[in-house]
Amino acid sequence: MLLTPQGEIRLIGHRGAAALAPENTLASFRMAASLGIRWVEMDVSLLADGACVIFHDDELQRCTNGQGQLAQSSLEQVRRLDAGSWFAPQFADERIPTLVEALREIQRLGLGLNLEIKHEGEDVEALVTPVLATLQQEWRDADSLLLSSFNHQALRLCHQRAHHYRRGQLYEAIPENWRDHLRAIEAYSLHCDWQSLTPQLAAAIKDEGYQLLCYTVNDPLSVASHWAWGMDAVFTDDPRVFSGKTCG
Ligand code: G3P
Ligand code: MG
């Protein structure tokens, strides 16, 4: 489990509570909090004008009534979009949140945060610089924050420039050189697809002293043995499926 100011954490709400409200919206974070979730994960992405927003996909189509590439859109353009109706009509007022709005709402709710930095291009600095500046201004308690990314370079920049925020390396499948990656950024945690974890890998990760987090788990039975292997916490779209179930 993660030992945090919010208590002992085994469940992290994925994109808020993505099965119950439109993912990565303020409504989704409120939904997670209302279900007793104490930590949430969300994805921060960069727009064409340098603004940072909470959004997962490269394309606008799946989670808004807009079209085209997120990274080629301006804040003014994406703010006009309805980011909730695609999920259910009662969420029609939801907008793509800015990073600032999301950080304020998550702190207002008393939640801890895993902020995933989404960047696949070359110029990762263009996203990391404003993200760290915004955190510096808005986020009060470093112990309630964990930064993560699939992009190792993003985490190297975070390590160099904001050492006081914990860092987690994200993987789909864990590569052979995971130790080098985690050492280079003095990582707190390794996050991976639960399907890619083996008992041997879990034991090695725990032997090195890292926290081990698995995404995205919506059936408690699928990770029944992972807890015994040493898995510390899971990301879930639907915290309700874990109620009454043993987590570790
Ligand atoms: O951070 C865990 C998980 O969110 C990583 O994958 O694609 O859902 O952002 P994705
Ligand atoms: Mg994510």
DSSP letter for each residue of 207-219: HTT-EEEEE----
Residue 124 has pLDDT above 90, yes or no: yes
Which residue owns the Cα nearest ligand 1 atom 2?
Answer: 215
Tell me if 56 CB under 6 Å of ligand 1.
yes
| For helices 99-108 and 26-34, angle between their N-to-C axes, nearest 10 degrees | 20
Tell me if 116 CB under 6 Å of ligand 1.
yes
- Does the model's pTM come out above 0.95? yes
Q: Name the strand (E) or helix (H) holding 2.
A: strand 2-4
Instruction: List the one residue out of 99, 15, 115, 106 whose CA is nearest residue 52.
Output: 99
Residues with catalytic function:
14, 56
The pLDDT of residue 120 is 84
Q: Name the pLDDT band for 212 (thresholds 50, 70, 90).
A: very high
Residue 136 has pLDDT above 80, yes or no: yes
Which residue owns the Cα nearest ligand 1 atom 10?
Answer: 56
Nearest atom, ligand 1, residue 15 CA: 4
Tell me if 191 CB under 6 Å of ligand 1.
yes
Of 216, 236, 238, best ligand 1 pocket probe by most atoms within 8 Å of the beta carbon = 216
The pLDDT of residue 26 is 98
- Rounded Cα distance between 222 and 244, Å, is 16
Interface ipTM > 0.95: yes
Instruction: List the one residue out of 30, 12, 15 whose CA is nearest residue 91.
Output: 30
Residue 246 has pLDDT above 70, yes or no: no
Tell me if 237 CB under 6 Å of ligand 1.
no
Rounded average pLDDT over 199-225: 97
Residue 121 has pLDDT above 90, yes or no: no
Residue 237 has pLDDT above 90, yes or no: yes
Tell me if 148 CB under 6 Å of ligand 1.
yes
Instruction: List the one residue out of 103, 104, 92 whose CA is nearest residue 44.
Output: 103
Residue 95 has pLDDT above 80, yes or no: yes
Domains of the chain: 2-51+99-242 (3.20.20.190)
Residue 247 has pLDDT above 80, yes or no: no
Count CB-CB contacts under 10 A for residue 232: 24
Residue 244 has pLDDT above 80, yes or no: no
Rounded average pLDDT over 67-74: 97
- Rounded Cα distance between 248 and 245, Å, is 9
Strands (E), 5-153: 7-9, 11-13, 39-46, 52-54, 112-117, 145-149
Rounded average pLDDT over 178-204: 98
Residue 114, classed as helix, strand or coil, is: strand
The pLDDT of residue 126 is 96
Instruction: List the one residue out of 147, 61, 163, 83 whose CA is nearest residue 112.
Output: 147
The pLDDT of residue 9 is 96
Whether the Cβ atoms of residue 76 and residue 102 lie closer than 8 Å to each other: no
- Rounded Cα distance between 46 and 52, Å, is 5
Count CB-CB contacts under 10 A for residue 6: 17
Of 2, 12, 41, best ligand 1 pocket probe by most atoms within 8 Å of the beta carbon = 41
Rounded average pLDDT over 214-223: 97
